[in-house]
């Protein structure tokens, strides 16, 4: 069906857009009297230069991918989940509690149990806005953002109070963090790097989400509800339930991202009092990664790696050429703007392609369309 | 800037008032449709001229030409005897012609005054002159009996009040001639009375009004002259005092039946669908169905005739399970399904061809194959244990594409790339392939060309012969007469009469559709 050139066009377009963004970024760098080539070389070097750099990139990409998978599900149901941060936090809290409670249980029981608990916790945090949206028509963008604020305050209370590390309490230094997890509960690593099993899990889940959305009844219904709720209702699909399910699953993947961050990277829950102190903004950057990946679970895999690379490489660039970190954030922003705008061109090209195809293969219906549209639109 | 305080006075003072608007020999073609066929029409200052006709008769098209929204293919427009060219609504407004559309063109989140001022130059240059606008609106409101608070937000207003704002907007812009496109369709009876009072006042003030409608009693109640259109042609013009409901009804619907289909005599079986004293409300909460009782038997087509907006849409939704009833029962195959979900009714063997197939019947972004399993995607063989089995789905889709002659590049083509006729075939294929026991077909051929129309009708007849009970809701009287074994007429949410096809004539149906009760009952 699709010609090779079209496939290439679709695949290369985001990369082209990203390159254009870096070109604009180069202007910024030159204004700051920095050689953009040196800067970008440092960026690439920092992200992919050594095995350890690649590992760090993947470590950064993992929570983005997990959150992004949830975002893909939500977008298919035409709901927007801005609550990834809060869902990560709630998932992490519950997952950490499991690890800190059942200290003498074996790791192969505790780790899956913690992940499941975090999954459910995130689902709860995403499901509440889902119910509010489906049954009370509350805008999910607002409610998910508000749920973030609630989650942060719960986290701060717990990490400074009931869940605080006994060591911190004893030293009276009061850093908001929990005790460390048992050695047996830590996800296996590819030593000497920090690359952990969670990354592999996320990639496997990307395939699972793909299968879920396009090969199961639930996935079909989520997509149907997102595309046309009227027709879905008419076809007998309980629309509200699937709106809730989409936000619930979306939150669940973010919750899982929180658990993976604890069990794979930090081995304890730690914050600086803000959401990003724990999440590193993965709850928001995951949305961007999903958009970059075309809101497709498999596309989100490379997109997350690219954003992971930008985050890791930017650190190196910052050190190498002495630019403020704000510039790095601006650079990320540029990439997002360019990539999201490029979607417009892809759509336009696709439309033209389909129109050509239809004329070539089915010339007669075109006339019918004209008659039908004028008959319904042109008369009273 | 001149010294005149507001725009409407400026325009009104710089050109003479419209005494007479004349449209001569107007022809408008759309691909495949002749919407206006050499139509003459005129309206004078101080008169209410009704434009009467069925849906699709060309009334709105003709008036959209006068308002500059369409360009006529032939014919001319004269104002006060001078030929004019009206290239856009802006031209029309400048000439003194205003139009109130069926669907209001108001910004909900702005106030009345802001809506009126929208798009007009301010008397203060870059600063707004909303206080001036509001004052002028109050003056106009008092003069015509159109009282609306200029500072109220549109979303706070009832539909009737919003319509007043539209009329005020046109008056503010200096309209001498005002076109009202089915203004009563959205109003309650009390609001209709109020509107008529306003219209009479406007006529007294020297405005010319064009009143588009398909309701006979309203037209006779308010108009000075009545012009009837049918199939794009003008049938005649009569002063309201010199005509009767009967004559107008005959003019509206009296025509040859255009389609003939081979039809075996019906062999009606048991009642499969039954409505008993059904009441339901419209979206706005007004009564839409007021005690509808109908029975449809296996092996027959019951045609439900009526002018649009008399409860057909609500009736279809009640049968499909998409709208709750406030009173009464719905029975499907001897089971009470009044409270049953759409899915449960589907499983009992109900098929539904919805009126708005683009909105309710299909998911435009889904592929042809995905649309063909919309109803049954959760059942074997299309899915097992929650997983879809695409090879089976595609094989099934290819079969249906062939059987129903759907023209599509492939099963994986998104539906939105297909033509209207082919989209309807997708709906038809999906619904009929399930071998339904009861078929609810709402406007099944609306917007289709002749070929597709005939195809759809043949399929419906086939289903009847197979033994399905078919409830056909249509505003197309030809369709009702060609297909039905029995005919029911709905008017304002009530069934006026049910008759065998043989006893139905266009005149009789036309009168019933216009709300004229039959004298002898039974």
Most B CBs within 10 Å, among A75, A231, A233, to test the B interface? A231
CA distance B33 to B28: 9
On the question of pLDDT at A370 being above 60, the answer is no
Closest CA–CA distance from residue B16 to any residue of chain A (Å): 32
Size of interface A-B (CB pairs under 8 A): 152
- A354/B414 CB distance under 8 A: yes
Residue of A nearest to B378 (CA): A217
Q: Is the peptide bond before B518 cis (omega within 30 degrees of 0)?
A: no
Residues of A at the B interface, defined by Cβ within 8 angstroms: 1, 214-218, 220-221, 223-224, 227-228, 230-238, 354-355, 357-358, 361-362, 364-376, 378-380
Closest CA–CA distance from residue B197 to any residue of chain A (Å): 25
The torsion region of residue B230 among left (phi > 0), alpha (psi -120 to 50) and beta comes to beta
Residue B261's pLDDT band (cuts 50, 70, 90): low
Mean pLDDT of B260-269: 76
Closest CA–CA distance from residue A2 to any residue of chain B (Å): 11
- Verify that B207 and B130 share a domain, yes or no: yes
First-to-final CA distance of chain B: 72
Q: How many structural domains does chain B have? A: 2
- B360/A231 CB distance under 8 A: yes
Torsion over CA: A6, A7, A10, A14 (sign)? negative
CB-CB neighbours of B318 under 10 Å: 23
Residue entry with tokens 């033994």: B467
- B346/A236 CB distance under 8 A: yes
In a domain, B425, yes or no: no
Chain B residues in contact with A77 (beta carbon < 8 A): none
Chain A residues in contact with B387 (beta carbon < 8 A): 215-217
Of the candidates B116, B98, B99, the residue with the CA atom closest to the CA atom of residue B107: B116
Most A CBs within 10 Å, among B374, B405, B425, to test the A interface? B374
CA distance B187 to B169: 19
CA distance B269 to B470: 12
- A368/B448 CB distance under 8 A: yes
CA distance B291 to B325: 10
- Verify that B353 and B454 share a domain, yes or no: yes
Contact call for residues B50 and B222 (beta carbons, < 8 A): yes
Closest CA–CA distance from residue B500 to any residue of chain A (Å): 30
In a domain, B422, yes or no: no
Closest CA–CA distance from residue B408 to any residue of chain A (Å): 7
ipTM of predicted assembly, 2 dp: 0.82
In a domain, B17, yes or no: yes
For residue range A153-205, what is the model confidence (pLDDT) as tens digits? Answer: 999 999 988 888 888 888 877 788 998 998 899 999 988 889 999 999 999 99
CATH of the domain at B129: 3.40.50.300
Reduced to 3 states (helix: H, G, I; strand: E, B; else coil), residue A102 is: coil
Q: How high is the mean pLDDT of chain A?
A: 87
- Verify that B203 and B288 share a domain, yes or no: no
Phi and psi torsions of A223, nearest 5°:
-65, -40
Give B207 or B250, the one with higher predicted confidence.
Answer: B207
Q: Which residue of B378, B410, B452 is in closest CB contact with A368?
A: B452
In a domain, B398, yes or no: no
Share of chain B above pLDDT 70, in %: 93
- B320/A234 CB distance under 8 A: yes
On the question of pLDDT at A367 being above 80, the answer is no
DSSP B486-517: EEEEEETTEEEEEEEGGG--HHHHHHHHTTPP
For residue range A288-325, what is the model confidence (pLDDT) as tens digits? Answer: 899 888 889 999 999 999 889 988 888 888 888 888 87
Mean pLDDT of B443-471: 85
- B449/A234 CB distance under 8 A: no
Return the domain boundaries, chain A: 35-322
Instruction: Compute the half-sphere exposure of residue B216: CA atoms within 13 Å on the CB side of its CA.
Output: 22
Instruction: Give CA A283 to chain center in angstroms.
Output: 7
Contact call for residues B277 and B291 (beta carbons, < 8 A): yes
- Verify that B320 and B199 share a domain, yes or no: no
For residue range A241-289, what is the model confidence (pLDDT) as tens digits? Answer: 999 999 999 999 999 999 999 999 999 999 888 888 899 889 999 998 9
- Say if residue B93 is exposed, middle or buried (CB neighbours under 10 Å; 0-12, 13-18, 19+): buried
CB-CB neighbours of B109 under 10 Å: 9
CA distance A255 to A84: 8
- A372/B182 CB distance under 8 A: no
- Verify that B341 and B228 share a domain, yes or no: no
CA distance B280 to B212: 27
CA distance B406 to B298: 28
- Verify that B159 and B279 share a domain, yes or no: no
- Verify that B302 and B232 share a domain, yes or no: no
pLDDT of residue B272: 96
Contact call for residues B13 and B4 (beta carbons, < 8 A): yes
DSSP A104-160: TS-HHHHHHHHHHHHHHHHHHHHHHHHHHHHHH---HHHHHHHHHHHHHHHHHHHHH
Do the bridges between strand B469-474 and strand B301-305 make them parallel or antiparallel, or are there none, so unpaired? parallel
Q: Which residue of B407, B412, B447 is in closest CB contact with A365?
A: B407
Chain A residues in contact with B388 (beta carbon < 8 A): 214-217, 220
Residue of A nearest to B446 (CA): A376
In a domain, B235, yes or no: yes
Q: Which of B252, B279, B294 is the last residue of a domain?
A: B252
CA distance B432 to B453: 16
- Verify that B191 and B334 share a domain, yes or no: no
Share of chain B above pLDDT 90, in %: 56
Closest CA–CA distance from residue B501 to any residue of chain A (Å): 28
Of the candidates B240, B284, B242, B291, the residue with the CA atom closest to the CA atom of residue B496: B291
Do the bridges between strand B48-52 and strand B225-230 make them parallel or antiparallel, or are there none, so unpaired? parallel
Chain A residues in contact with B383 (beta carbon < 8 A): 216-217
CA distance A37 to A106: 51
- A376/B420 CB distance under 8 A: yes
H-run or E-run covering B43: strand B33-44
Which of 2.60.120, 1.10.3470, 1.20.1050, 3.30.160 is the CATH number of A35-322? Answer: 1.10.3470
Chain B residues in contact with A371 (beta carbon < 8 A): 30-33, 420, 449
- Verify that B147 and B176 share a domain, yes or no: yes
Chain B residues in contact with A239 (beta carbon < 8 A): none
CA distance B342 to B318: 10
Residue of A nearest to B382 (CA): A217
- B33/A357 CB distance under 8 A: no
Residue of B nearest to A365 (CA): B419
- A380/B408 CB distance under 8 A: no
Residue B278: give the domain boundaries. Answer: 271-360+436-513
- Verify that B350 and B478 share a domain, yes or no: yes
Residue B155's pLDDT band (cuts 50, 70, 90): confident
Residue of B nearest to A216 (CA): B387
- Verify that B196 and B230 share a domain, yes or no: yes
Chain A residues in contact with B33 (beta carbon < 8 A): 371, 374-375, 378-379
Closest CA–CA distance from residue B103 to any residue of chain A (Å): 12
Q: Which residue of B35, B365, B410 is in closest CB contact with A378?
A: B35
pLDDT of residue B418: 82
In a domain, B466, yes or no: yes
CA distance B515 to B496: 8
Of the candidates B468, B122, B70, B413, the residue with the CA atom closest to the CA atom of residue B268: B468
Mean pLDDT of B482-506: 92
- Verify that B148 and B241 share a domain, yes or no: yes
Mean pLDDT of A344-355: 70
On the question of pLDDT at B312 being above 70, the answer is yes
For residue range A34-75, what is the model confidence (pLDDT) as tens digits? Answer: 898 998 899 899 999 999 999 999 999 999 999 999 999 999
pLDDT of residue B167: 93
For residue range B317-362, what is the model confidence (pLDDT) as tens digits? Answer: 999 999 999 999 999 998 999 999 998 999 999 999 998 888 889 9
């Amino acid at each position: 069906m699709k010609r090779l050139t079209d496939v290439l066009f679709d695949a290369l377009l985001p990369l082209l857009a990203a390159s254009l963004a870096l070109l604009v970024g180069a202007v910024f760098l030159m204004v700051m009297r920095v050689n953009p080539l040196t800067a970008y070389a440092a960026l690439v070097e920092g992200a992919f230069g050594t095995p350890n750099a690649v590992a760090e990139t993947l470590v950064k990409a993992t929570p983005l991918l997990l959150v992004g998978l949830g975002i893909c599900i939500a977008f298919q149901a035409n709901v927007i989940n801005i609550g990834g941060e809060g869902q990560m936090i709630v998932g992490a809290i519950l997952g950490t509690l499991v690890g800190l409670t059942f200290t003498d249980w074996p790791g192969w029981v505790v780790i899956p149990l913690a992940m499941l608990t975090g999954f459910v916790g995130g689902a709860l945090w995403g499901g509440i806005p889902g119910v509010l949206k489906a049954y009370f028509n509350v805008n999910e963008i607002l409610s998910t953002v508000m749920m973030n604020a609630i989650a942060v305050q719960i986290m701060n209370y717990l990490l400074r109070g009931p869940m605080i590390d006994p060591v911190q309490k004893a030293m009276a230094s009061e850093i908001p963090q929990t005790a460390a997890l048992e050695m047996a509960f830590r996800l296996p690593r590819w030593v000497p790097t920090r690359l952990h099993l969670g990354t592999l899990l996320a990639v496997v889940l990307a395939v699972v989400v793909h299968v879920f959305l396009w090969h199961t009844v639930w996935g079909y219904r989520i997509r149907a509800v997102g595309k046309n709720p009227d027709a879905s209702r008419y076809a007998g699909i309980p629309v509200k339930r699937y709106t809730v399910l989409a936000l619930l699953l979306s939150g669940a993947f973010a919750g899982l991202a929180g658990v993976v961050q604890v069990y794979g990277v930090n081995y304890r829950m730690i914050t600086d009092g803000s959401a990003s102190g724990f999440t590193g903004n993965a709850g928001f950057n995951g949305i961007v990664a999903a958009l970059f990946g075309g809101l497709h679970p498999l596309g989100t895999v490379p997109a997350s790696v690219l954003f992971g690379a930008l985050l890791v490489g930017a650190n190196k660039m910052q050190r190498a050429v002495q630019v403020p970190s704000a510039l790095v954030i601006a650079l990320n922003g540029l990439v997002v703007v360019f990539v999201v705008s490029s979607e417009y061109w892809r759509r336009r090209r696709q439309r033209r392609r389909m129109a050509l195809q239809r004329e070539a293969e089915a010339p007669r219906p075109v006339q019918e369309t004209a008659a039908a549209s004028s008959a319904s639109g042109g008369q009273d | 800037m001149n010294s005149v305080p507001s725009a409407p006075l400026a325009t009104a003072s710089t050109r003479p008032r419209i005494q007479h608007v004349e449209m001569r020999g107007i022809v408008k073609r759309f691909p495949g449709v002749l919407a206006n066929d050499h139509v003459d029409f005129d309206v004078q200052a101080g008169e209410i001229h009704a434009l009467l006709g069925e849906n699709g008769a060309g009334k709105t098209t003709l008036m959209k030409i006068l308002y500059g929204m369409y360009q006529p293919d032939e014919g001319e427009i004269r104002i006060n005897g001078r030929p004019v060219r009206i290239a856009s609504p802006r031209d029309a407004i400048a000439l003194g012609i205003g139009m109130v559309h069926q669907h209001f063109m108001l910004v909900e989140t702005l106030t009345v005054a802001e809506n009126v001022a929208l798009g007009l130059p301010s008397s203060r240059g870059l600063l707004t002159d909303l206080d001036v606008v509001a004052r002028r609106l109050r003056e106009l409101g008092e003069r015509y009996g159109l009282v609306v608070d200029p500072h109220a937000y549109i979303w706070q207003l009832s539909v009737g009040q919003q319509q007043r704002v539209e009329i005020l907007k046109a008056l503010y812009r200096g309209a001498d001639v005002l076109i009202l496109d089915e203004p009563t369709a959205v109003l309650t009876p009390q609001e209709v009375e109020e509107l008529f009072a306003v219209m009479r006042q406007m006529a007294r003030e020297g405005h010319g009004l064009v009143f588009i409608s398909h309701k006979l009693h309203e037209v006779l109640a308010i108009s000075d002259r009545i012009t009837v259109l049918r199939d794009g042609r003008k049938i005649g013009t009569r002063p309201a005092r010199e005509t009767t409901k009967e004559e107008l009804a005959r003019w509206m619907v009296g025509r040859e039946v255009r389609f003939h289909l081979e039809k075996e005599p019906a062999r009606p079986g048991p009642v499969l669908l039954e409505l008993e004293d059904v009441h339901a409300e419209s979206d706005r909460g007004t009564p839409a169905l007021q005690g509808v009782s109908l029975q449809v038997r296996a092996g027959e087509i019951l045609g439900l005739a009526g002018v649009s907006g008399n409860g057909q849409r609500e009736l279809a939704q009640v049968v499909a399970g998409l709208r709750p009833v406030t009173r009464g029962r719905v029975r499907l195959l001897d089971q009470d399904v009044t409270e049953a979900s759409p899915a449960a009714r589907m499983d009992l063997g109900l098929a539904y061809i919805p009126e708005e197939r683009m909105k309710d019947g299909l998911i435009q972004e889904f592929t042809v194959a995905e649309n063909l399993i919309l109803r049954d995607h959760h059942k074997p063989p299309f899915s097992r244990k929650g997983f879809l089995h695409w090879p089976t789905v595609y094989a099934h889709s290819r079969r249906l594409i062939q059987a129903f002659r759907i023209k599509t590049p492939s099963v994986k083509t998104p539906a939105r790339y297909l033509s209207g006729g082919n989209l309807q075939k997708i709906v038809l294929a999906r619904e009929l392939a399930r071998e339904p026991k009861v078929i609810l077909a709402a406007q099944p051929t609306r917007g289709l060309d002749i070929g597709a129309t005939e195809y759809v009708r043949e399929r419906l007849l086939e289903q009847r012969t197979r033994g399905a009970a078919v409830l056909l809701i249509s505003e197309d009287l030809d369709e009702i007469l060609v297909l039905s074994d029995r005919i029911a007429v709905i008017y304002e949410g009530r069934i006026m009469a049910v008759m065998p096809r043989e006893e139905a004539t266009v005149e009789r149906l036309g009168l019933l559709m216009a709300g004229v009760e039959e004298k002898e009952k039974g």
